[in-house]
Amino acid sequence: MKSVFQFLDYREFLRSHFEDRKSLAPWYSFKVMGDGVGLDQSQVYRILHGHLHISSAALPRFQEYLKLNENEARYFAKLVSFGRARKESESRKIFSELLSLRGSRCHTLDGDQYLLYSDWHHPVVRALLGILKTSDNYELLATSVRPQITTAQARKSVQLLRNLKLIDRCDDGTWKLAGKSVSTGSTYQSLLIRQYQAHSFRLAEESIDRHPKEKRDINVINMAVDEAAFLDCISILKEARKQILERVETVEHPDRIFRLAQAFFPVGELPKGVQS
């Protein structure tokens, strides 16, 4: 059984627990799990598949059923709160508490990659360190971020990036990137990643007022498509992102950092049974 400290999504932990039990005992089912936590099997299914949250009343029963010790139970409770959080400020506060509960275990866990996206400016600071020849000039870093961050925030970002092994010291004391590109990979569904993406679009919105048109490229197109065209558009956008990344990898003397926040989403749909 995997440790609960390996997870930042309580539902992923529950699914992992369920699959492990199922592999050891093929008869194990949602009904068996439901009987153990005092819920109907349909409720357990909905919880594990993201359609329902664990209630405050059911939480102690889950902690007992999963045989969690005191620290694990506290962490699991925070995971449930993290999953239920709706405001970004609340999520960030709980996320910080989760990291504190994980303590020294943090560097060994798969979830470390999420830390890069715990604040929108961490990836920006990392990108800047790839083009700025600086050692510990946090004021220079802070004033180079748009919108500007504080010196303390810049220092915290550098410390985080170093802990995550995303930057290295050069022989002369300046920083360099440990690899040029990072990606969310298959973990993009994480709440933290979604918040990072949402904040990126808010920055894009602010850019309309902050930057002249010739310094940015923001466009909106409405289009009528079917499922096949939608999938084709996704493929085209994926290929375009790949080509953009390949192009920027060839830049030898970059002088600015850009963020591409792409959105392709539904704004209208025919009711079921209505033909166009």
Residue 169 parent element (H or E): strand 167-169
pLDDT tier at 147, thresholds 50, 70, 90: confident
Dist CA 91 CA 101 (whole Å): 15
Better-predicted residue by pLDDT, 180 or 169: 169
Closest CA to 38 of 20, 61, 21: 61
User: Are the beta carbons of 259 and 251 closer than 8 angstroms?
Assistant: no
* Residue-range domain boundaries for the chain: 4-105
Band (12; pLDDT cuts 50, 70, 90)? confident
Question: What percent of the chain lies above the pLDDT cut of 90?
Answer: 35
Question: Does 212 sit behind a cis peptide bond, omega within 30 degrees of 0 on the bond before it?
Answer: no
Look at residue 224 and tell me whether its pLDDT is greater than 70.
yes
Picking from 177, 121, 173, 176, the residue whose alpha carbon sits closest to that of residue 152 is: 121
Residues 6+ apart with CB under 8 A from 130: 176, 177, 180, 254
Q: Which two tokens stand for residue 22?
A: 């199922």
Mean of the pLDDT values across residues 162-168?
85
Dump pLDDT digits (tens) for 54-111. Answer: 999 999 999 999 999 999 999 999 999 988 887 767 777 887 788 778 764 433 334 4
pLDDT band at residue 120 under the 50/70/90 scheme: confident
Average pLDDT estimate for 173-201: 66
pLDDT for residue 183: 54
pLDDT above 60 (res 180): no
Residue 18: the pLDDT is 95
